[in-house]
Amino acid sequence: MSSDLPILSIVLPCFNEEGNLRALIAAIRAGVEPLAIGYEIIITDDCSRDGSWGVLKELAAEDPRIRVQKFESNCGQSAAMWAGMKTARGKFLMTLDADLQNDPHEIPRFIAALEHYDCVCGSRVESRRKGDNSVRIISSRIANGVRNWLSGDTISDSGCCFRAFKRECIENLKFFKGMHRFMPTLIKLEGFSVTEIPIGTNPRFAGKTNYGVWNRLFASFYDLLAVRWMKSRMVHYKIAERIN
């Protein structure tokens, strides 16, 4: 029954986030409540090695709006995000991290901005100093600078996965490893409007980061060249007339 479908799907990738999941769900519930809309939370366990899956099964048993799935093997953040998006049933989708670095209380601001744009991306540029060390701040600035230079884009924080978008934005996207960093550029390429809003950033609530400076900076260079190629070779056309 279509009337039972959620308006908003909140999609999260999870790898070894056992200590975050209960606090995360409580924060998402509190964050979404002011919107007074039907929602679902989709968490994809990227084959965690800790007790994440056990906690997720308990959470799903307590609330049918929490939908969980688990990969057979660790496939990476992009794959976990994509698998969640494919499962999502909402008109609007949001992605965020499962470690509470993104504050779910900011969700209504994203949804409000969707009235004017097809896709709304969080930017941590202004708030970074509170949550990150200087190595991380500088490496992120370099990564964003190089990405924008080579992809011809102007996204200030392409690594931030706190985003909201209308479901049609991702209908034609082809996902690849590391693609989560290029979603705003690729959504723009599909002809949709994309904006950024400043957001806060928290230190991780529990657990530890999955990335170091080197894989953050250089792993996506190869992907960047592919995005640059795609941008230059993408076909654009408008039908002037059509008969029969």
Q: Which residues bind ligand UDP (CB under 6 A)?
A: 13-15, 17, 46, 74, 76-77, 80, 97-99, 101, 209-211
Nearer to ligand UDP, 56 or 189 (CB): 56
Q: Is 36 in contact with 68 (CB distance < 8 Å)?
A: no
Backbone angles phi, psi at 112, to 5 degrees: -65, -40
Minimum CB distance to Mg ion, residue 26 (Å): 18
CA 31, 129, 161, 17 torsion-angle sign: negative
Nearer to Mg ion, 99 or 157 (CB): 99
* Interacting residues of 216 by C-beta distance below 8 A, sequence separation 6+: 139, 140, 143, 159
Q: Is 84 in contact with 40 (CB distance < 8 Å)?
A: no
b vs e for 146-180, b when ≥16 Cβ sit within 10 Å of the residue's Cβ? Answer: ebbeebebebbbbbbbbbbbbeebbeebebeebbb
- The answer to whether residue 101 forms part of the interface with Mg ion (CB under 5 A) is yes
Nearer to Mg ion, 99 or 196 (CB): 99
Minimum CB distance to ligand UDP, residue 225 (Å): 22
The interface region with Mg ion, picked from 97-105, 141-149, 190-198, 216-224 by CB under 5 A, is 97-105
Contact pattern for Mg ion over residues 55 through 94, marking x by CB under 5 A? ----------------------------------------
Minimum CB distance to ligand UDP, residue 191 (Å): 28
The interface region with Mg ion, picked from 6-14, 46-54, 98-106, 126-134 by CB under 5 A, is 98-106
Nearer to Mg ion, 97 or 118 (CB): 97
List the single partner that 157 binds among Mg ion, ligand UDP, none, CB under 5 to 8 Å by kind: none
Dist CA 224 CA 164 (whole Å): 22
Among 40, 99, 118, 223, binds Mg ion (CB under 5 A): 99
b vs e for 47-74, b when ≥16 Cβ sit within 10 Å of the residue's Cβ? Answer: bbeeebbebbeebbeeeebbbbebbeee
Q: Which residues bind Mg ion (CB under 5 A)?
A: 97, 99, 101
